[in-house]
């Protein structure tokens, strides 16, 4: 990819390593990195052979060689960091969840529109080859009328109170970190839910440990999800229609395989993903395509849908009684 955008990486945590590694493996132009310390930026730049390293995010977004900034800080910082880049005239790809809540998401979306820039949520699952094929199968009518989504995202993560997922001040908890995947998948299939039912259990820190949801839609459609940070489940997903279903293998939100199974049990199709790296570069390619085409509203995941999904997460949090410091 020689004619694409020049990427800047804002923050140098684990997800930034995974994303940058995929960019480099697939020929994207990673031009700069910014960290809270020069030492951290230099170390990251050396690891990935990035020419420009900056101390502080302000210096990164001011870099004239950067066209688009990937924001990978903790959830409560997404809105401020994305806005910083947009104010500097840079497009942004913002880690999921896009922001901490709906109000922040709307402000970022408004700023991007005012500046004529792309703001895209880094929900990388939507761009993976198996998800693209699943949409083709659904659109072809193979499943008949799609009625149900079943999905879990369950991990057994450290119970250390200082761990990011257990710290409310960092936006910790199962819902925003893990539940965003099945919630976004439900939106992708069915759109906005008509009703939302939620239940949760909590850790001693106040962070949500498990969150179960039931979304209902017109036509008798239902989507159910379970997200957990203290137990590991199958991490599978199933899309069920009147004529057939799609069974997505572990881990369903990463490059994986699936089977299309008819109502009589016969296998109609088997699909296997083959990608270079982890597969996070597909969302970067989508961002570059959107900018090149001038479609700054988005298509696979429009910014208006990202904002609305944050509203759904807000509604779930209200039902289970989860608030973050400063809200």
pTM of the complete model beyond 0.95:
yes
Sheet of strand 244-248, all strands in order from the earlier edge strand to the far edge? 195-202, 208-216, 222-228, 146-154, 237-241, 244-248, 257-262, 267-272
- Mention the CATH class of domain 129-274+310-320: alpha beta
Query: Domain map of the chain by residue range?
Result: 6-122, 129-274+310-320
Predicted confidence at residue 39, as pLDDT, reads 98
Single out the catalytic residue among 90, 96, 156, 203: 96
CATH assignment, 6-122 = 3.40.50.720
Work out the number of other CB atoms within 10 angstroms of the CB of residue 214. 14
Predicted confidence at residue 12, as pLDDT, reads 98
Q: Residues in the chain with pLDDT < 50?
A: 1-2
Predicted confidence at residue 326, as pLDDT, reads 86
Alpha carbon of residue 324 to chain centroid: 20
96 is catalytic: yes
Question: CB neighbours of 225 closer than 8 A, spacing ≥ 6?
Answer: 149, 150, 151, 152, 153, 179, 182, 183, 186, 212, 213
Give the three-state DSSP class for 215: strand
Distance from C-alpha of 270 to C-alpha of 148, rounded to nearest angstrom: 20
Distance from C-alpha of 23 to C-alpha of 72, rounded to nearest angstrom: 14
Predicted confidence at residue 1, as pLDDT, reads 39
């Amino acid at each position: 990819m020689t004619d694409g955008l020049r990427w800047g990486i804002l923050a140098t945590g684990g997800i930034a390593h995974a994303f940058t590694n995929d960019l480099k493996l697939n020929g994207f132009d990673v031009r700069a990195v910014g960290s809270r310390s020069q030492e951290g930026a230099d170390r990251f730049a050396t690891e990935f052979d990035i020419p420009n390293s900056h101390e502080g995010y302000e210096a990164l977004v001011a870099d004239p060689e950067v066209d688009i900034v990937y924001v990978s800080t903790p959830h409560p910082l997404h809105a401020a960091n994305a806005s910083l880049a947009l104010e500097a005239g840079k497009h942004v790809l913002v880690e999921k969840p896009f922001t901490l809540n709906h109000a922040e998401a709307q402000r970022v979306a408004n700023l991007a529109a005012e500046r004529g820039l792309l703001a895209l949520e880094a929900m990388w699952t939507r761009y993976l080859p198996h998800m693209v094929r699943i949409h083709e199968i659904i659109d072809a009518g193979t499943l008949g009328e799609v009625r149900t989504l079943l999905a879990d995202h369950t991990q057994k993560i450290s119970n250390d109170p200082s761990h990011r997922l257990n710290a409310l001040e960092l936006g910790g908890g199962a819902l925003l970190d893990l539940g965003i995947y099945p919630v976004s998948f439900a939106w992708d299939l069915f759109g906005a839910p008509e009703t939302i039912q939620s239940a949760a259990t909590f850790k001693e820190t106040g962070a949500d440990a498990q969150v179960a949801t039931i979304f209902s839609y017109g036509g008798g459609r239902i989507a159910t999800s379970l997200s957990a940070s203290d137990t590991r489940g199958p991490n599978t997903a199933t899309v069920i229609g009147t004529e057939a279903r799609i069974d997505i293998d572990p881990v369903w939100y990463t490059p994986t395989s699936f089977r299309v199974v008819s109502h009589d049990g016969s296998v109609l199709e088997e699909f296997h993903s083959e990608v270079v790296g982890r597969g996070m570069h597909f969302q970067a390619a989508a961002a570059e395509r959107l900018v090149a085409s001038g479609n700054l509203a988005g298509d696979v995941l429009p910014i208006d849908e990202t904002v609305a999904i944050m509203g759904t997460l807000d509604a779930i949090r209200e039902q289970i009684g989860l608030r973050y410091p400063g809200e």
